[in-house]
Amino acid sequence: MLRRVLAAAPPPPVVDWLIGLCVLFEVGSGLVSFTVGTPDGAWLFWLHTTVGLTLVGLLVFKLLRVRHRITGRVSWDRQTPLSVLMAFLAVCSLATGVFWTLGGNVPIWGWTTLNLHVGLGLLLVPLLFVHLRARFRTPRATDLDRRAALRTSALFVSGAVAWRATEAADRLLGGASRRFTGSKPTGDLYDTQTEGGGFPVTSWVADDPDPVDREEWSLTVTGLVEDELDLPYEAVGPERSQRALLDCTSGWYTVQEWRGVRVGDLLDSAGLDSGARYVRFTSVTGYRWSLPVAEARDALLATHVGDRRLSHGHGAPARLVAPGRRGFQWVKWVERVEVRRDPDPAQWVVTLISGFD
């Protein structure tokens, strides 16, 4: 039986290379997927799942091949503990990924199984490089013959079939409520009654300001505008209402009725200068995100959600509502709107470290 499984494997060096490449692809596609919020990017999630399931097959080949080195018939060398740890992490990150895909979730200290999947996957990257330093071999031409190519293709086809099968299984298990991003309705994950607006308060990392006093707060509109604005809370009046879906990369989503001021109206009051291309929203904490002007126009600075004023946790006095963007881009506690010519690559770092002193 084991021999028959191994007979379907590409040559060992090819398996090893494919594992390395697939892991890197999974980490890359997983990180990029954090920025996908509209269905035209759904293919990235399909690809991520297919390559992940292909990786399951590759790991089976690899573990069957090296099992003697682990079970001790060949004595351990200095690299073996690292290899065992990597195998463990790889199996766990694949298992958590598949489990989540099938609708499962076992929260641990407020972490969803999707968070765990991401964390385990990221841990693998540094270990992979250490492992490569010790065991790296350039592939030889003889490894890459036609048979190896056929077996490799067969493996990816099996991965794609397995992906379709998990989709079907998921539908049978009632997973239709999940988005293409993998996110589930909050009610599946949290006791929504205990949370302010019926959905969880989530801050990406360490952003946790003191409550912002509405009386002292004001919203400035600056940058490439004809007239700078400095608006008190009452002027950010909730005259515009919009239903929008908030999809957090922790794996939950919620549809809410948001009310506030349309960013396009703010920009019209201020008047745009000719070079205006981006609008940057900055929180009292420094956390910030930019949107292209056209997209920003349709965004909302919300002061209310549902029939209530925003709670502190959800970003009072005002937070960005950016339909089609992922949750981490919906800046909370916004105090400054800046019209700019250039994009803002540093926002990627700022969002991660915001709140750490």
Ligand X SMILES: Nc1nc2c(c(=O)[nH]1)N[C@H]1C(S)=C(S)[C@@H](COP(=O)(O)O)O[C@H]1N2
Interface residue list for ligand X (CB under 6 A): 199-204, 207, 248, 283, 285, 287, 313-315, 327-328, 330-333
Is residue 297 within 8 A of residue 267, CB to CB? The reply is: yes
Q: Which listed residue (248, 302, 318, 339) binds Mo ion by CB under 5 A?
A: 248
Q: Which is nearer to ligand X, 182 or 327 (CB)?
A: 327
C-beta nearest to ligand X: residue: 327
Which residues are bridge partners to 278 per DSSP? 292, 340
Q: Which is nearer to ligand X, 56 or 322 (CB)?
A: 322
With CB under 5 to 8 Å by kind, the binding choice for 29 among Mo ion, ligand X, none is: none
Is residue 17 within 8 A of residue 60, CB to CB? The reply is: no
Q: Which is nearer to Mo ion, 202 or 218 (CB)?
A: 202
C-beta nearest to Mo ion: residue: 248
Q: Which is nearer to ligand X, 97 or 315 (CB)?
A: 315
Q: Which is nearer to ligand X, 63 or 206 (CB)?
A: 206
Amino acid identity for residue 153 in this structure: S
With CB under 5 to 8 Å by kind, the binding choice for 101 among ligand X, Mo ion, none is: none
User: What's 7's DSSP letter?
Assistant: H
Residues 6+ apart with CB under 8 A from 280: 223, 288, 289, 290, 336, 337, 338, 339, 340, 344, 347
Q: Which is nearer to ligand X, 117 or 332 (CB)?
A: 332
3-state DSSP assignment of residue 351:
helix
Return d(Cα 193, Cα 115) in angstroms, integer: 23
Residues 6+ apart with CB under 8 A from 78: 134
With CB under 5 to 8 Å by kind, the binding choice for 201 among ligand X, Mo ion, none is: ligand X
Token output for 312: 């502190």
**Residue 258: CB minimum distance to ligand X, A:** 10
**Residue 229: CB minimum distance to Mo ion, A:** 29
Q: Which is nearer to ligand X, 54 or 285 (CB)?
A: 285
Q: Which listed residue (199, 328, 330, 333) binds Mo ion by CB under 5 A?
A: 328
Q: Is 37 near Mo ion (CB under 5 A)?
A: no
Q: Which listed residue (238, 303, 327, 351) binds Mo ion by CB under 5 A?
A: 327
Is residue 202 within 8 A of residue 248, CB to CB? The reply is: yes
Here's the x/- map for Mo ion, 200-219, by CB under 5 A: it reads as --x-----------------
Is residue 281 within 8 A of residue 144, CB to CB? The reply is: no
Three-state SS string over 156-195 comes to HHHHHHHHHHHHHHHHHCCHHHCCCCCCEEHHHHCCHHHC
Q: What angle do CA 167, 124, 21 make, to 5 degrees?
A: 70
With CB under 5 to 8 Å by kind, the binding choice for 17 among Mo ion, ligand X, none is: none
**Residue 319: CB minimum distance to ligand X, A:** 7
Q: Which residues bind Mo ion (CB under 5 A)?
A: 202, 248, 327-328
